[in-house]
Amino acid sequence: MTVGPTSGHRRGARRLVLGIETSCDETAASVVEDSRRVRSNIIASQHDLHAEYRGVVPEIASRAHAERITPVVRGALEAAGVSLTEIELIAVGNRPGLIGSLLVGVAAAKGLALSLGIPFIAVDHVHAHLYAGLLGRDCDPAPLRPVEELFPALGLVISGGHTSLYLCQSPTRCTRIAGTIDDAIGEAYDKVAAILGLPFPGGPSLDRLAAAHAAAALEPDRDGFPIARIAPDSLDFSFSGLKTAALYAYRGVPESRRVKDKRLARGEPDPVTRPAAQVAATFQRAAVATIVLKLGRALERYPHCRALLVGGGVSANSLLRSELERLAAERRLPVVLPALEYCLDNAAMIAGLGSALWLERDRIGDPWSTGAVPTTGS
């Protein structure tokens, strides 16, 4: 099925794209002009709905998306100062994510595109995170950096569900070359924050605590917080051991009743535990060191890369951003970090990448046959 712009839609050099994102617990809509200028970026968070569970409940998330999608889209159009008749393309994040949440966004995007008689395109949410750093706001006076000078590039996506490395030939052609063998870095942050009793969402709370007590951090490898190397040439990540080390440092190493009785009989003290602030600072130092280590290996393996693209919620982390900038300066490469408003799940990155993909629609096939897919693509 092919649907083209109706004669009533605005024609010209500039393309206005409406993006919709509902992959997890953020209902988002955005209007992007010419694939990179963000005219609006509206996000309705569900943190209050999931706080008591310390994690996202899929059924609650999907119902909230259904309730909020219409007012969020209206808000994005109003903030951009445009009407629906000016929109020429609708892009939606269709993978990966919670299937119920994705279905809400995909159904809304297809229904709206059909009713307007304009094209629709589906976007990989993870690939869109790599595009986020290429975005600029409509009000920014400075011209955007030419995209051509950044590719080929090494891409890093770090979030609650993903920790992956990509080799990017262009903004629309990315191949996954490594990933996590267990927990994603954002998941590890959230779980350690829960162990320390920090407020939800855990990642930002742990970052603030760690930053305030950075001087108290221990040396990770020497003091039991592992920097997972996996193998001398491995580019993959692992954070489960680091998460466990933080648990034991804060609560002590578990011991059976028999072992405890023997220890007490010998007059030995209880296992040493560490304060929450020190655990947070040491955990963060080890997690960031793991990312930097694997990026260094990847840049050595792919020396032709001309830039480092970073995206995902954890790219907002203060220590990580500073360490990535340091690494890039040492390697004499530009590091493209998204503005903080585009680090978390948002629809601006969906609209931007969707616009770029639409220019290559002959390569990607019929978008109307695309549905919601919970799993990660290539």
- Condensed to tens digits (0 to 9), the pLDDT of residues 192-210 reads 999 999 998 899 999 999 9
- Confidence class for position 292, pLDDT limits 50, 70, 90: very high
Q: Is 34 left (phi over 0), alpha (psi -120 to 50) or beta?
A: left
The residue-averaged pLDDT of 318-346 equals 95
Q: Which residues of 80-90 are buried (b: 16+ CB within 10 A; e: fewer)?
A: bebeeeebbbb
Measured in degrees and rounded to the nearest 5, phi and psi for residue 311 equal -155, 170
- Confidence class for position 375, pLDDT limits 50, 70, 90: confident
pLDDT of 140 reads: 73
Output the pTM of the full model.
0.90
**Peptide bond between residue 338 and the one before it cis (omega within 30 degrees of 0):** no
What is the full DSSP assignment across 294-332? HHHHHHHH-TT---EEEESGGGG-HHHHHHHHHHHHHHT
The residue-averaged pLDDT of 134-159 equals 87
E strand spans, the chain: 16-21, 26-33, 37-45, 89-95, 120-124, 136-137, 153-158, 163-170, 173-179, 308-311, 335-336
Of the candidates 359, 315, 367, 349, the residue with the CA atom closest to the CA atom of residue 125:
349
Helix (H) or strand (E) holding 116: helix 99-116
> 19-33, 160-174, 269-283 — which is least confidently predicted?
269-283
Of how many residues is the chain composed? 378
By DSSP bridging, strand 89-95 and strand 16-21 are parallel
**Peptide bond between residue 96 and the one before it cis (omega within 30 degrees of 0):** yes
Q: CB atoms < 10 A from the CB of 369, how many? A: 8
Cα–Cα distance between 207 and 219 in angstroms, integer? 18
pLDDT of 254 reads: 81
